[in-house]
Every structure is written in C-alpha cells, then in structure tokens.
Amino acid sequence: MISIKSDREIELMKHAGHINYLTHLEVAKNIKAGISTKALNDIAHKFILDNGCNPSFLNYEGYPASICISVNDEVVHGIPSKRKLKDGDVVSVDIGVEYKGYHSDSANTYIVGHASKEIEDLVENTRKSLYEGLSVIKDGVKISDIGSKIENFAKMNNLGVVRELVGHGVGSSIHEDPDVPNYYTNDVTRLRAGMVIAVEPMLNLGSRHIYMEEDEWTIKTEDGLPSAHFEHTVLVTKDGFVILTGE
C-alpha cells in the first residue's frame, strides 16, 4: 500500500529532511584525507541528536552505525570504521533522519582531494542521473518513468546501473511502498500527489554487478571499480515535486 501523507505528516517530513540536509553539510565539511569514517559517523550522530532528531539507520534491521559510508568499490551500506580516507577516495555518505516518527533519506558522493577525470565524471553523472530521474515526477506519472530516465542517462555515459537495490517510499518507516527502481520496468503504478519517495541511483564506473561482503552489509562492485550514489527524498505534487532533503 502506498500512503498519501497528510499536511501534518508532510510538515514533520520537511523538518526531518531539513535536518538531514544540514547533517550532510556538517559531514561534508569534515571530509578530508586522514579522517576515519567512524569519526564522520560520530559527527553526524551528534549533530542529529543535538537537533532533536534520531539517526534512522542505527539498529535498523540490526545495522550497527548511525550513517552509511561507502568508499571506492563499496556501493552502499558501508559500515563506518577506523579506515582513514585518503586522497582520491570516492566517498558515498547516506543519512537517514527521524523526527517525531517520520523519516528522511538522502545520499551524496564526494571525492577526497583529486581524482582522475573518469572518476570526476562518474560522480558528476551519477548526481545528474538523480536529477534526470526526478525531472519527470508529478501526479499521474508512472513510477517506472523515473527509472527509464536514469537508465537512459547512465547508458549514454557508459555507467553500470545497480539493479539489486532500489529507491522506495518514505514515511513513518524509512522504507515503504512503492519500490522505485533505477531502470525500466513494466510496472504501471502511478505517482499521486502526497506520496513521498526516495530516488537513489547507484552507478558504477564498470559493470553493474555487485556482491555482499562478509559483514553482511557492505555491498561492493564485482569488478572492484568505483561506484557513486546520490539520493533525495521528494514529495510528489500536482504539478511536480518538492525535494525535502535539499537546501
């Protein structure tokens, strides 16, 4: 069942989204060579609590940290650790924030210092693919049109589209109906004003294939090439959409 949010629910989700955005800024400020991913996790954790919210991911299905940080060939769900960032690393930061029972979900990818043009393009084109996908959103549009847009853009830029993980509805749970794949499907479900969804392309420099690490969380690319991830939580409106996790 896909829920339509009430005005009150939308207000709470706007706040959860705003704190999510501010948490990203706080983490981004601290991303540099030499800092550990655990230190970034702790900065985010404290910032979220100081703002009267909770980190949605902590203990979600047993997840052991407050945010996900996935480096280089790690696609998503990297667990923060003692690992120190170094020049050229591709760092995907995924944050969930809960306020009064309502969630927001957003991811950004950063490059530490300098990287090759190829890697800069991977990150920039993954960001663009998110906005391509978002651009079709309004009441009445098929959910699968989002994925078609993302998939076409990725293909044009020779990037692999991860298929095993998808975007999703967001609300009183971090993951709700519907699924929002980053590729074409024949699903004819349509968006309606008042739905809130997270769109989250994960694009690989190489092939789309992935595997799960022994920690049973970290997802990595099979060929060891880097991956990027961008995600926004958005409210569907009659004529378009509102990004809840943006500026």
Residue 120 and residue 181: Cα distance in Å, rounded? Answer: 24
Max distance between CA atoms of the chain, in angstroms, equals 48
DSSP secondary structure of 146-210: HHHHHHHHHHHTT-EEP-SS-EEE-SSSSSEEEEE-SS------B--TT-EEEE--EEESS-S-E
Which of Co ion, ligand MF3, none interacts with 184 (beta carbon under 5 to 8 A by kind)? none
Q: Say how many C-beta atoms besides its own lie within 10 A of residue 195's C-beta.
A: 25
Tell whether residue 90 is a contact of ligand MF3 (CB under 6 A). Answer: no
In angstroms, the CA 206 to CA 118 distance is 11
Q: How far apart are CA 109 and CA 195, in angstroms?
A: 26
Residue nearest ligand MF3, CB atom distance: 57
Q: Does 93 bind Co ion (CB under 5 A)?
A: no
Question: Residues 9, 94, 151, 176: which binds ligand MF3 (CB under 6 A)?
Answer: 94
By CB under 6 A, residue 184 contacts ligand MF3:
no
Beta carbon nearer to Co ion, 112 or 245 = 245
Question: Quick one: which of 105, 132, 151, 176 contacts ligand MF3 (CB under 6 A)?
Answer: 105
User: CB within 8 A of 35, min separation 6: which ones?
Assistant: 84, 85
Least distance (Å) between residue 63 CB and ligand MF3: 3
Decide: is 179 part of the binding site for ligand MF3 (CB under 6 A). Answer: no
Per CB under 5 A, 98 contacts Co ion: no
Distance separating alpha carbons of residues 88 and 103, to the nearest angstrom: 32
Cβ closest to Co ion, residue 132 vs residue 231:
231
Token pair 């609590």 in the structure block, residue: 49
Answer with the entry of ligand MF3, Co ion, none that 74 interacts with (C-beta below 5 to 8 A by kind): none
* Residue among 26 and 200 whose Cβ is closer to Co ion: 200
Interacting residues with ligand MF3 between 210 and 239 (CB under 6 A): 231
Regarding 105 and contact with Co ion (CB under 5 A), the answer is yes
Q: How far is the CB of 92 from ligand MF3 (least distance, A)?
A: 10
How many residues lie near Co ion (CB under 5 A)? 3
d(CA 59, CA 214): 18
Q: How many residues bind ligand MF3 (CB under 6 A)?
A: 12
The residue ranges that bind ligand MF3 (CB under 6 A) are 57, 60-61, 63, 68, 77, 94, 96, 105, 198, 200, 231
